[in-house]
Amino acid sequence: MKPWQRLLLAFGALAVAGGALLFIVFSDKLAGDIFGDENLVFYWSPTELLDAGEKGRRATVRLGGMVRPGDDPNWDRKLPIEFYVEDADQRIMVRSTGAPPQMFREGIGVVVEGKLNSDGVFETDRVMVKHSNEYRVPDDEAEMADAARTLTLD
């Protein structure tokens, strides 16, 4: 093989590999086959999850939304903890065997990973508080005081 032929071949192979990668990205079916449907975790809002119907019940998903207190007045003092995750239109009851982090409280954004069961309860063992991971300087003293308050015991 001549050098320029090898060059063409190399770029041809790269193009084919890149094309295959793009094909996987754009074909949900193929991606599901390759990674396993249960291993592809998508991020859904309560409305999206409920709209998906049966399809939403099978897969492990990450559900994101705001926390509303559970029906029990002592809802945040026991495990499994039960609360609602809601967006503008819908709410889903969440039951978590995993302890939520310190920042967890009414009105805060959370992401829970798990499955919606047949009773319409989202079961999870992992509650993550949504926050900007970006390292940022508090803008003023009020914000700093607010940040400090989240951890005080009183």
Binding site for other proteins (CB under 8 A): 3-4, 6-7, 9-11, 14, 21-22, 24-27, 29-31, 33-36, 38-43, 60, 62, 76-79, 97-104, 125, 129, 131-138, 140-141, 144, 147-148, 150-154
Q: What is the closest distance, in whole angstroms, from the C-beta atom of residue 53 to other proteins in the complex?
A: 19
Q: 120 or 125, CB closer to other proteins?
A: 125
Q: Is the dihedral of CA 62, 65, 66, 70 positive or negative?
A: negative
Buried-exposed string 15-29: b where 16+ CB fall within 10 A, e elsewhere? eeeeeeeeeeeeeee
Q: Which amino acid is at 39?
A: N
Compare residues 17 and 120 and give the one whose CB is closer to other proteins. Answer: 17
DSSP reduced 3-state for 83: strand
The nearest distance, CB 35 to other proteins, in angstroms, is 5
**Residue (1 or 88) nearer to other proteins, CB:** 1
Q: Least separation, in Å, of the C-beta of 90 and other proteins?
A: 19
Collapsing DSSP to helix, strand or coil, 87 comes out as: coil
| Least distance CB 71 / other proteins (angstroms) | 18
d(CA 101, CA 53): 30
Q: Which is nearer to other proteins, 27 or 120 (CB)?
A: 27
Query: Is-cis flag, bond preceding 101, omega within 30?
Result: no
How far is residue 12's CA from residue 35's CA, in Å, rounded to a whole number? 26
**Minimum CB distance to other proteins smaller for 15 or for 120:** 15
Cβ 33 to other proteins, closest distance in Å? 6
